[in-house]
Amino acid sequence: MSDHREFEAEREKIDFLLEQGYVISGVTENLSGAFVEFQYKGNESDKSEKERLHILHPDTRKYFSTILVQQQKKQSVK
């Protein structure tokens, strides 16, 4: 898979989860990439759905970092 295609594939996974109502709830970075944890924040119900993505591409790491900063700004405004 080409370098750019790898970035696009990871970005699409992130975008899909965000469109489904998930928010980034945690990030763990190590030498093998970043593990981004998402928590479902759509309908406030009893169940707490979580997803986890393993991000390898550096551009995707920048991408989710930007999203995380935007999320934090929204929370601080509330």
Quick: pLDDT tens for 17-67.
999 999 999 999 999 999 999 999 866 555 579 999 999 999 999 999 999
- pLDDT of 1 over the 90 cut: no
pLDDT in the model for residue 45? 59
1 and 12 Cβ atoms separated by less than 8 Å: no
| Confidence band of 75 (pLDDT split at 50, 70, 90) | confident
* Domain range enclosing 72: 2-76
| Domain count for the chain | 1
Q: What is the mean pLDDT of the chain?
A: 92
- b/e sequence 53-67, b meaning 16+ C-beta within 10 Å: bebebeebbebbeee
